[in-house]
């Protein structure tokens, strides 16, 4: 009863543990290398992109130019959006160009940085303050506020943009 089982001759007891440790270290190093190099090199079909017109006027001839091509539409009505897949995996620069309601050409450079499987949404919004109501002006000393005429709204500067563009990323909607 006091006998102990001895390991078979020719095999060390730590060789299996060493082999398993080396294998796990190799897997860990491979995972770290993949994370550092990025999965853009193992690209898929491209970037899923949505152009959303969140302004109160139609966008005439909206075009998104990207390396290797362009996405063009005749018109994108106010409050509407359209989606497409752009065959440009990884980070890239794009240019959004369209004509506004006054037939003035508007253009913005976009930095598209896809994150995994997230949807890239390009929101075109009115410029801050473009639809804002001017603050009331205080009445002069000694005058009542009842008969005071409202101040004229400030004139829009020709240099101020009529819209702004925000690139957002959207994941899967689980609230459906």
Query: How is 129-176 classified by DSSP, letter by letter?
Result: TSSPPPPPPPPPTT--SSSPPPPPPPPPPTTS-SEEEEEEEE------
pLDDT of 117 = 75
Architecture of the domain made up of 41-130+161-170: Sandwich (2.60)
Which H/E stretch holds residue 37? helix 15-37
pLDDT of 74 = 95
- For the segment 102-145, what is each residue's pLDDT rounded down to a tens digit? 889 999 999 998 887 788 999 999 988 765 444 444 544 544 44
pLDDT of 77 = 94
pLDDT of 125 = 93
Task: Please state the domain extents for the chain.
Answer: 41-130+161-170
**In contact, 112 and 134? CB cutoff 8 Å:** no
**Residue spans of the chain under pLDDT 70:** 1-2, 6-14, 38-45, 130-161, 172-176
pLDDT of 42 = 53
pLDDT of 110 = 93
Residues with Cβ within 8 Å of 93's Cβ and at least 6 positions away in sequence, in order, are: 66, 67, 109, 110, 111, 112
pLDDT of 131 = 53
Closest CA to 67 of 45, 51, 89: 89
**In contact, 92 and 66? CB cutoff 8 Å:** yes
Count CB-CB contacts under 10 A for residue 126.
16
pLDDT of 12 = 56
């Amino acid at each position: 009863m006091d006998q102990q089982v001895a390991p078979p001759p020719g095999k060390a007891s730590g060789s299996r543990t060493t082999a398993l440790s080396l294998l796990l270290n190799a897997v860990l190093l491979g995972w770290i290398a993949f994370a550092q190099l990025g999965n853009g090199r193992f690209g898929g079909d491209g970037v899923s992109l949505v152009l959303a017109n969140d302004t109160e006027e139609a966008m005439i001839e909206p075009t998104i130019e990207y390396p290797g091509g362009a996405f063009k539409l005749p018109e994108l009505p106010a409050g509407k959006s359209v989606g497409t897949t752009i065959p440009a995996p990884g980070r890239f620069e794009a240019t959004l160009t369209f004509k506004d309601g006054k037939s003035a050409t508007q253009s913005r450079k976009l930095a598209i940085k896809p994150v995994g499987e997230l949807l890239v949404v390009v929101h075109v919004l009115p410029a801050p303050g473009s639809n804002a109501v001017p603050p009331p002006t205080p009445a002069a000393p000694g005058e009542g506020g009842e008969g005071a005429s409202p101040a004229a709204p400030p004139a829009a500067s020709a240099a101020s943009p009529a819209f702004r563009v925000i690139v957002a990323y959207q994941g899967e909607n689980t609230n459906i």
